[in-house]
A and B are shown apart, each in its own frame.
Chain A
Amino acid sequence: MSKLNIKNLIKSFPSMDRPAVNNVNLDIQSGELVAFLGPSGCGKTTILKMITGLFQPDNGDIILDEQSLLKTPTEKRGVVMVFQNYLLFPYMNVNENVGFALKMKGVDKNIIEEKVKEMLELVKLPDIGLRKPKQLSGGQQQRVALARALISNPRILLLDEPLSNLDAHLRDEMRDLIVTIQQKLKVTTIFVTHDQEEAVLLADKIALIFDGELQNFTSPKNYYEKPKNTKAAKFFGGVNFINAKKINNDLVTDIGTVNYKGENYIDLNEDNIITIRPENIKLSKNNDFKDNSFKGLIKSVIFSGTHTRYKVIVKSLELECSLQSVGLQDINEDDDIYVHLPSDKIWAMNE
């Protein structure tokens, strides 16, 4: 139960022409499960390594429970990291691996033994204590690594790509286990991933990082409904972007004037971009809608099992729209169609 503040964090490497981490500010609350999301090389692992103390930041501060960590050596920070490839110590058996942190603290042997058993039960791997890491599958190694990290009640748990080395079916299992354990122990957890689906499924909040810069730090839901900019929206599968000018109290877009109800209306500049999720767009053959309705032409219809995807041309702009199941009956390519953008589902951004 510890809260972490990252302030103006900057880190450069001589081999890179831009800073690996550029002025990142983050406030992570106690007990939160936070994802650092971004393409590989965006600096997310570098931030983790600065939290553990492997790298010293060029500038800025890392504050754990109101105290700066920068002058504390790694082993005294109470920050435990689980590396992407687990890094179980090869010549120690599972019991010795899991008990390592307590042994370092000089805890009594019997207590270590008891605690190791408890942790192995927590990760649902009792009875493998005497095996060597080589004899374990990837999924088992990952769980042992998790048990080893959690045994000393870390203040912060860091997971570097915890699911990327696992098979698809193991990934679901491991994801559930991480969430269950995190909720049970309420340890403040940060995990790094490049997979937005993984981040959405696991995290309370997602820090989206591109090129060393924090784009947005908010709940997964907001990335879909209220993204901060088009970059963030695109990373989460946003496809419909329409230029919109704020004139008097209206948003005049490339396809026509829209009625907008977003709470950020006051903050908008003159030039904006509006976005809407494909699944929030409504289609109708006849113009059944009161407002935000535009006439278009069906370009393509693709049935994908659970959804049917339509591409609609409205005033030379292509919009993507997704309806559940088989979608509308009797709609084919080149048909005329009315497109409705519900005013409470539109979101406008400055960039």
Chain B
Amino acid sequence: MNNNLKKINIYAIYLGAFILILPLIAFFINAFSFRWFYPQVIPKELSLQAWVRLKLIPKPGQRTFEGFIELWASNPAVIKALLNSLSIGFLVTIVSIIIALPAARVLGLLNFRFKKLIIFIMVSPTILPPIAFVLGLNINFISWGFSGNYFGVCLVHLVPIMPYVVLTMTGIFANYNPDYEHQARTLGANKTKTFLLITLPAIAPGMVVAALFAFLVSWSQYLLTFLIGAGKVMTLPLLVFSTASSGNPALTAAISIIFIFPAILILFFTSKFVSGESGATSGFGKI
């Protein structure tokens, strides 16, 4: 009986995974097909035309090594947007972790008055619809000269990211025993060495998870980039939306694959930190 139940559970998980993956499969087929419309179960004709239009694959006849180099060197919009998205994502991730580290340490280790209120205020950007604050923010950003440039976009991405990073890191520190640091100090390690040799290895797994959140939130940010970037800072989500509204499903599918691919790659390499005992809940434990 118990065994049967286990089997059913496992099948249910497979089914769930299949349902989640199904649209992705459709995506892939769409990206490599030519005019795949409703009654057809599979596309009549496979084609690379979407990729050619994105200027990622050269036109037939020019598909040599030099052809690829030449095409990519011409700086197509997709690659520009990809690089923008990546660099903004990395930058914002690093900055958010540096800012969150001391805050999370205090929130995780100490108890003080109004702690819950402070946490509530920090989390509030996740509850608030971005449109509610970004319009007001935009006016200020324009007068400060942050609107329509790279720096302003990075800054505004920090707004939805900080809550996730601070909360995740607070979780690590709630399970962290600062006595280890003091032990290292009495054994002759100065503050820098203590941080590098004792604190960092203990919080690293959780930090990876926080970084993952930060990167993915920045990666998928549309509205904030659109409004603060004022169309001058082009990132992948902006490109996906504008392509999708142009009504070419193959083109949209192709660009969407480019959009989700780095995210899947990062998830794949960090998944061991997300689950298992070396995960976000690690720290040293308080014994």
Which residues on A are within 8 Å of B, measured CB to CB?
49, 52-54, 73-77, 79-81, 83, 85, 87, 89-91, 100-101, 104-105, 148-149, 152
Contact = CB atoms under 8 A, between A and B. Distances in A.
A54 B188 contact: no
Lowest 5 A-B CB distances belong to which pairs?
A104-B188, A74-B185, A101-B187, A87-B183, A81-B186
A54 B201 CA distance: 22
B287 A74 contact: no
B66 to A, nearest CB: 49
B186 A79 contact: yes
Contacts of A87: 177, 179-180, 183
Contact of A75 (B180, B190, B202): B190
Contact of B201 (A74, A83, A91): A91
Nearest to A151: B187
Given A52-B185, A75-B187, 16 more contacts: A52-B182, A53-B185, A54-B182, A73-B185, A73-B190, A74-B186, A75-B189, A87-B183, A89-B180, A89-B198, A90-B202, A101-B187, A101-B188, A104-B187, A104-B188, A152-B188
Contact residues of B: prevailing secondary structure? helix
B179 A149 contact: no
Contacts of A91: 201
A52 to B, nearest CB: 5
Contacts of A49: 182
Nearest to A104: B188
B185 A80 contact: no
Interface of B: 177, 179-180, 182-190, 193, 197-198, 201-202, 284, 287
Contacts, number: 56
Nearest to A15: B111
A83 B198 CA distance: 16
A148 B187 contact: yes
Nearest to B187: A101
B201 A104 contact: no
A148 B183 CA distance: 11
A105 B193 CA distance: 11
Contact of A100 (B177, B184, B284): B184
29 contacts: A49-B182, A52-B185, A52-B186, A53-B185, A73-B185, A73-B190, A74-B182, A74-B185, A74-B186, A75-B185, A75-B188, A75-B189, A75-B190, A76-B188, A77-B186, A79-B186, A81-B182, A83-B183, A87-B177, A87-B180, A87-B183, A89-B198, A90-B202, A90-B284, A100-B187, A101-B188, A104-B188, A104-B190, A149-B187
Contacts of A76: 188
Nearest to B204: A91
A134 to B, nearest CB: 11
A75 B184 CA distance: 8
Contacts of B177: 87
Contacts of A101: 187-188
Nearest to A51: B186
Contacts of A85: 179, 287
Chain B CB within 10 Å, residue with most, of A53, A79, A89, A152? A89
Contacts of B189: 75, 100, 104
B193 to A, nearest CB: 6
Contact of B183 (A81, A105, A152): A81
Nearest to B180: A87
Chain B CB within 10 Å, residue with most, of A52, A53, A74? A74
A104 B193 contact: yes
